[in-house]
Structure 1
């Protein structure tokens, strides 16, 4: 069968049978389009694509100066494609079954936001809100919304995609319960406990209630559409620069800061795993490597050396 047709059927399978989320589908589509453009793939019969051709493709990917993580994802897409073909009995055996591919990623520690920069950022936006002259203007409503988003990011450690995709019925401001749809369609509930965070969310709802009610999304933009991940990232960058915060800030850094600060306060890593929505504890354990503050505190106050006197 023609490879082009099989690839189309695979994407259809991913979208309508496996019900993968739009982000994953988009990544799969990009990866498949790149594979189609390699060499003479499109003129081949699917049974002619063997491990030698796939090895050539791996070498080709390395010439593109891609990060190891990107190469691993592209190969995972192809592996899923050939597994699908094998399951559908279009091919006898996936060529990946006869391959041992090991791509090592450089482990980078999560970047967190300095606590003084978090204080500086929030102090700035709340000062603007306090000094705002005309609260009937949309710019004031937008500011209240942005404060609610920033408070939620810092208070819950949600991914920016999870914040953007909150729906009107997902959040209960009376109980503080927030239903979150995470990666892989996994649902979890996180509790909003801080009074200030609840207050910011309630104020936002009071200003946007009619628009939110008409729209399925909780956080919306001026046109009543979903407040996108891109817009949230740009919003953070705008306030970072306006507040003269020298550290470059991203939405995901709020998530890293949330996890690290809880760890520094002695919270069990398994609780943090649940709040972050990690399926594996190994993903959460990376935060233990940057928990220097707690380590310093323990060694300076608990180590027995402090009670030993050797000098005469």
Structure 2
């Protein structure tokens, strides 16, 4: 099975534009951006509750602390949230009724928490509607890691951000493209 497609900024914009014209646009936009801008796994995104992303004063956390039960490898990890993602989370929180910190951050149409599988299917449908061939629920993580690698971030930092215990796993995520090769030969 081929690896999930990494998206260019233009393709990501196309997906976000497609989301804007569909139901649940605010929810779907943020779920997608959490994979692209923070490198979160779909299961991690599905597991989030309000208290995971919001401080007691109502502000958005700069770091999301995932416990072992929320991660694939059953190892707790910290997800660092950049300013633009914190802004997106804040906008989303303004749109939903916030009552309980233990409430799921993202709910299905039936107001239940997403399972990892249901969120995976939802993400795949989002990419299909946008017409992005080869994109899957894993495309956000691959795009996040590849984009940071293209900006010169070292593989050890990338592995830590991705929650990988082996840099070999992280290296397999990096999609080498012509732009990266051109930049590399300019350094010679």
User: Partner of 2:12 in structure 1?
Assistant: 118
- How much has 1:219 moved relative to structure 2? 1.4
- How many Å apart are 1:157 and its aligned residue? 1.0
Partner of residue 202, structure 1? 90
Residue aligning to 1:7: none
The residue number in structure 1 matching 2:143 is 257
Match 1:278 to one of 153, 157, 164: 164
By percentage of residues, which structure has more helix?
1
1:178 is paired with a residue whose SS is strand
User: What is the CA–CA distance in structure 2 between the aligned matches of 1:268 and 1:298, rounded to whole Å?
Assistant: 14
**Pairwise CA distance, 1:302:** 2.4
Q: What's the counterpart of residue 219 of structure 1?
A: 106
Equivalent residues of 1:260, 1:291 under 8 A apart: no
Structure 1 residue runs without a partner (length 5+)? 1-66, 68-107, 130-138, 304-312
Residue pair 1:236, 1:250 contacting (<8 A) in 2 also? yes
In the alignment, which of 282, 298, 309 is matched to residue 184 of structure 2?
A: 298
Return the offset for 1:230.
3.0
Q: 1:289 to 1:203 in 2, by over 3 A?
A: closer
* CA distance 1:175–1:162, shift in 2 (3 Å): closer
Aligned counterpart, 1:236: 123
Flag the 1:208–1:144 CA change in 2: closer, same or farther, 3 A: same
- The answer to whether the aligner puts 1:150 opposite 2:39 as a matched pair is no
Q: Which residue of 2 aligns with 1:190?
A: 79
Gap regions ≥5 residues in structure 2:
none
* Partner Cα distance (1:289, 1:163) in 2: 23
> Which string of whole-angstrom CA distances, capped at 9 and with x for unpartnered residues, describes residues 205-248 of structure 1?
2333346x2754221123321122233233333333433x2413
Q: Which residue of 1 aligns with 2:154?
A: 268
In structure 2, distance between residues paired with 1:293 and 1:191 = 26
Counterpart CA distance in 1 for 2:30 and 2:65 is 17
Change in Cα spacing, 1:256 to 1:217, as seen in structure 2 (3 Å) is: same
Going from structure 1 to structure 2, the CA distance change for 1:182 and 1:229 (only over 3 Å counts) comes to closer
Instruction: Give the C-alpha shift of residue 251 in structure 1.
Output: 1.2
Distance change in 2, residues 1:114/1:221 (3 Å): same
- How far apart in 2 are the matches of 1:171 and 1:187? 15
Give aligned pairs, total: 181
TM norm structure 2: 0.81
Shift of 1:116: 2.7
Instruction: Write the distance in 1 (CA, Å) between the matches of 2:7 and 2:96.
Output: 30
